[in-house]
Amino acid sequence: MYTKGLTAAVAALLLLTGCGGDGGGSSSGSGTAYNYVAPMLNSTRTYSETITDNSNNMISIGYSDAITTVNSDGSVSQLSQSTTGDSNIVNGTNYAIVTENQNFNAMGQETSYVYTDPSGAQVTCTFDPHGGGPDFPVMVGETWELIYTFACGTGATIAYAQSGSIVDVESITVPAGTYTAIKIQSMLTWTDAVGTTRMQTITNWRDVATLYSVKESISIAYSGTLPTVGYAVNREILLESMS
């Protein structure tokens, strides 16, 4: 079994995604407004991720995200791939990052990605209207709610519900350096086709200058039908370098 390396088949997602979709709503904050920043062509970020599974095993993986296309409207594509190999199996689950070609719209919202599964088949996954997160510009105190769907290959379409808030702007230090970052907290919930419900509590820090994620901490609670193989209960993702 493979797991997708970031939040919620999403979130997920290291470009800051947006809201404004069906079933969504938001309340405004106050103070400085932080606008969306389109990434630079050929810019690359590398991340380390530490995962704690349900048996308290610690799993370390790494990956890179490289911007491969920047369109005139600000929409982008990026290549996400492992920097620590394609196999890291613990208790029947492979936590290694699967190479993905990801697409984001002009507000940085992930709309789709394509990967090759272990059989060699290409699989396309789509978000409708897009992945989760707040609309731009964002301000401290702003809150949002969003419902979106996710479909991958021939699998069942899954509905996601998210609520979140812009908590603060603060200094944070990670291996790549010290950044002034927007602190975003959210709750993301979904139930998969076999009846496993996941509730992710996510805290994400994003550089105010580029809006790239510099740190993300995720805790995951499970209910319903529990997985029969190992599964992540905590994840921490740190920016290692940016160029």
Tens-digit pLDDT profile for residues 213-222? 999 999 999 9
Going from N- to C-terminal start, the domains of the chain cover: 7-242
- What tens digit of pLDDT does each residue of 39-77 get? 999 999 999 999 999 999 999 999 999 999 999 988 999
Q: How much is the mean pLDDT over the chain?
A: 89
For residues 57 and 36, the model is more confident at: 57
Which DSSP state fits 138?
Answer: B
Q: What average pLDDT score do residues 79-94 get?
A: 95
Widest CA span of the chain, in angstroms? 51
pTM of the prediction?
Answer: 0.89
- What tens digit of pLDDT does each residue of 93-125 get? 999 999 999 999 887 789 999 999 888 899 999
Q: Give the CATH number of domain 7-242.
A: 2.40.360
Q: What average pLDDT score do residues 162-179 get?
A: 97
| pLDDT at residue 24, as a whole number | 54
Q: What average pLDDT score do residues 163-167 get?
A: 96
For residues 94 and 10, the model is more confident at: 94
Q: What average pLDDT score do residues 140-163 get?
A: 95
